[in-house]
Structure 1
Amino acid sequence: MNQLTSPITSIKPAFESDSPLRVGILAAPDFTLLSLSCFIDFLRLSSDERDYSRQIYCHWDLLFDNTDPIYSSCGIPLIPRRLFGDPREYDCIVVHGGILHGTTPVPDAYLAFIRQAVASQVRVIGLCTGQFLLARLGLLTGLRCAVHFSLAEEMQALYPDVIPVTDQPVVHDGGITTCPGGLASINLAAQLVTEKCGQIRADKTLHYLLADRGFDEMRERKQEGELGLKCSDQRVANAVGLMLQRIHESGTVADIAKLVGVTERELTRLFNQYLRASPAMYWRQLRLKAAHWQVINSSRSITQIAYECGFTDSSHLIYWFKRTYHATPSRLRKLRQTVGIH
């Protein structure tokens, strides 16, 4: 018996579904692998019984204008399964965008196929940053679209007639569906499977994915009071998320306030109300926590740590470090080396 064959049960013969969910996927150069893999793997698990991975209830193709590899933003390539053809072969066309600062241009044929799908009245879905490509084609004018909160300002700057939504995993408006990507791609796939294959099939996959309780751990991590991400005010939660993203960068509270759509004064009021700290104090504590970890767990110089954690210089770091941890970074490092502080 093949070592990879289950000793408990054999694979049942494949059969054809009367109406499988058929999805055409357009991955732009420098696409983000996580969003795409979450989306496709949900389809894969929904498409068959157990984990057999046959395309029975769901069918998907990676489409492009040639069969050359399409490289993700992390450098891992995918090979297109089919060339652009008739979009009416699919229930929906998923436009999966790449990182906005990518240097590889999106081919004209890619954009032309999106236009063809719209003209053929095939459902078009923007995933990750695919919304920016749809907006570029004028397909989101006056419409609401789901974007990651860190990209809302860029969407408004580039396409002021588009209405970015940052607090929903999937948005439907004007016949266009959008999803910010990441783990929200699972929400998108679950909705598509439910619509075409029924709730039971989507629930089967969700149960399979949640069986290891990994999502529960992530939810618990997000609920930790120290992170401030559980705040009921989405503006505060988004501000904290941006601070976490930018711990290693220089920046101002005014920058964060602008990104979440409030004034600096209003953000200060919200932070004091919900987190009992000013935005500047909260952000500094995040930076100090990152610096503390590096002092204890790395051999980087104090100057390098100060730079990497967003402090203006080593003196600035040492001042706040001593006030918070009652020892200079160098002193704490020596104590750790002699008595094993963690």
Structure 2
Amino acid sequence: MKQPRHVVIVGFDDAEMLDIACPSDAMDAANRLGAARPYRVELASLGGRPVRCSSGLVLVGQVPLEKVSGPLDTLVVAGGLGHGVAAANGRLLAEVRRLSRASRRIASVCTGAHVLAAAGLLNGRRATTHWSYAGRMAAAYTSVTVDPAPLYIKDGNVYTSAGVTSALDLTLALIEEDNGAELARSVARTLVTYLQRPGNQAQVSVPPAAPLPEHRMVRTVVTYISNHLSSDLSAPTLARVAGVSQRHLTRLFDGHLGTSPARYVRVARTEAAAQLLVQSSLPLTAVARKCGFTSTETLRQAFSDLYATSPSAYRNVNRRSSA
């Protein structure tokens, strides 16, 4: 048997269990389905201490992070509510830096990107994280180009992924890199998940699922947008709603939402259209009109940018999934 691919997942207190389970279980499935080189996955923590997940469940640290030695195939940093404390832990960052030099590739799940950024491993790179933390990450690490839209991003040998279950999309991509598309599809079928969502597909349901921003003025504008999708939502209109200049409104959106007003409106309209496509039988022209698009072609372009698919294909796939 060929030498296993040594994969180390870095855990810490208040990590998200799915951030650890998605990569480990997908790679275990790949082993059972005949990976050319099996994956040997270990959970490492400082001192080898148990990892208390944010759910309250506790995972046993298999190996002290300080005693892990290379070469490693893949180093994965989990995310979770404890990412801020982890990113401020000098000992943890030193070990992540050390192991990054001994790893063929480096990856993070969700807010684990903040740990990679704090370790300096994302400097000059494009990266993603959970959409609700993207603005904070961009403000804290100005040398990183933070893109909150994709499910995962590959920049050189560094991979970052969005929130929680996008770890599965990333891991399927890694399995495909290592073993080919057929094994990745078999793993997806075994796990009863999408055969594979492309990395450039957007993190779904950003405006509808997002909590209202704390800033009163931004919250007012966001609420207005969601209630007036078919109306004029141009920059001058939104600035009048907020009672500020267009420039100041742009700064507020960038600071609190990590995006521009125009981009927010486009995504809100596209996601509303996605819901209508699945929940109704309205023709595409009616969906476009109800959601504020000037034409079906404009809707198609927005759909392609956000979901990497067409409205019709999205409707067909998601209706089958619902059925």
Tell me the TM-score normalised to structure 2 length: 0.62
Q: Does 1:28 align with 2:12?
A: yes
For these two proteins, the number of residue pairs brought into alignment is 239
Give the structure 1 partner of residue 58 of structure 2.
77
Give the structure 2 partner of residue 190 of structure 1.
172
1:74 is aligned with what amino acid? Answer: S
Q: Does 1:239 align with 2:221?
A: no
Contact 1:69-1:79 at 8 Å conserved across structures: yes
Q: Does 1:262 align with 2:243?
A: no
| CA distances 1:187-246 after superposition (whole Å, capped 9, x unpaired) | 111122222233332222111122xxx769xx9xxxxxxxxxxxxx9799532232xx34
Identify which of 39, 45, 49 aligns with 1:64. 45
After superposition, the Cα gap between the structure-2 partners of 1:275 and 1:236, relative to the gap in structure 1 and judged at 3 Å, is farther
Give the structure 1 partner of residue 109 of structure 2.
127
After superposition, the Cα gap between the structure-2 partners of 1:238 and 1:270, relative to the gap in structure 1 and judged at 3 Å, is closer
Contact 2:23-2:168 at 8 Å conserved across structures: yes
Counterpart Cα distance in 1 of 2:87 and 2:131: 24
Counterpart Cα distance in 1 of 2:21 and 2:188: 15
Q: Does 1:111 align with 2:93?
A: yes
Q: Secondary structure at the match of 1:63?
A: strand
Give the structure 2 partner of residue 300 of structure 1.
none
For residue 67 of structure 1, report the CA deviation from its aligned partner.
3.0
Q: Secondary structure at the match of 2:206?
A: helix
Question: Which of structures 1 and 2 has the bigger CA Rg?
Answer: 1
Which runs of 5 or more structure 2 residues have no equivalent in the other structure? 224-252, 273-286, 293-323
Residues 197-216 of structure 1 aligned to structure 2 (within 5 Å): 197-210=179-192
For residue 139 of structure 1, report the CA deviation from its aligned partner.
1.7
For residue 103 of structure 1, report the CA deviation from its aligned partner.
5.9
After superposition, the Cα gap between the structure-2 partners of 1:19 and 1:73, relative to the gap in structure 1 and judged at 3 Å, is same
| CA distances 1:167-186 after superposition (whole Å, capped 9, x unpaired) | 32221114311111422111
Counterpart Cα distance in 2 of 1:176 and 1:276: 41
For residue 91 of structure 1, report the CA deviation from its aligned partner.
0.1
1:111 is aligned with what amino acid? Answer: L
Residues 1-342 of structure 1 aligned to structure 2 (within 5 Å): 17-49=1-33, 57-84=38-65, 85-99=67-81, 107-120=89-102, 122-210=104-192, 238-242=206-210, 245-246=211-212, 252-254=219-221, 257-258=253-254, 259=257, 261-263=259-261, 267=265, 271=269, 276=290
Give the structure 2 partner of residue 318 of structure 1.
none
Counterpart Cα distance in 2 of 1:159 and 1:254: 27
Give the structure 2 partner of residue 294 of structure 1.
none
Counterpart Cα distance in 2 of 1:269 and 1:59: 40
Counterpart Cα distance in 2 of 1:149 and 1:182: 11
After superposition, the Cα gap between the structure-2 partners of 1:112 and 1:46, relative to the gap in structure 1 and judged at 3 Å, is same
Identity %: 23
Contact 1:22-1:90 at 8 Å conserved across structures: yes
For residue 106 of structure 1, report the CA deviation from its aligned partner.
5.9
Tell me the TM-score normalised to structure 1 length: 0.59
Q: Secondary structure at the match of 1:47?
A: helix
Counterpart Cα distance in 2 of 1:269 and 1:97: 25
* Aligned-residue CA RMSD (Å): 3.9
| CA distances 1:135-192 after superposition (whole Å, capped 9, x unpaired) | 1122212211021221111111111221112232221114311111422111111122
Contact 1:29-1:106 at 8 Å conserved across structures: no
After superposition, the Cα gap between the structure-2 partners of 1:97 and 1:275, relative to the gap in structure 1 and judged at 3 Å, is farther
For residue 270 of structure 1, report the CA deviation from its aligned partner.
6.9
Counterpart Cα distance in 2 of 1:108 and 1:72: 21
Counterpart Cα distance in 2 of 1:277 and 1:49: 44
Q: Secondary structure at the match of 1:88?
A: coil
Contact 1:194-1:201 at 8 Å conserved across structures: yes
After superposition, the Cα gap between the structure-2 partners of 1:102 and 1:131, relative to the gap in structure 1 and judged at 3 Å, is closer
Contact 1:47-1:59 at 8 Å conserved across structures: no
After superposition, the Cα gap between the structure-2 partners of 1:21 and 1:190, relative to the gap in structure 1 and judged at 3 Å, is farther
Contact 2:46-2:92 at 8 Å conserved across structures: yes
Counterpart Cα distance in 1 of 2:87 and 2:141: 19
1:42 is aligned with what amino acid? Answer: A
After superposition, the Cα gap between the structure-2 partners of 1:29 and 1:124, relative to the gap in structure 1 and judged at 3 Å, is same
1:262 is aligned with what amino acid? Answer: S
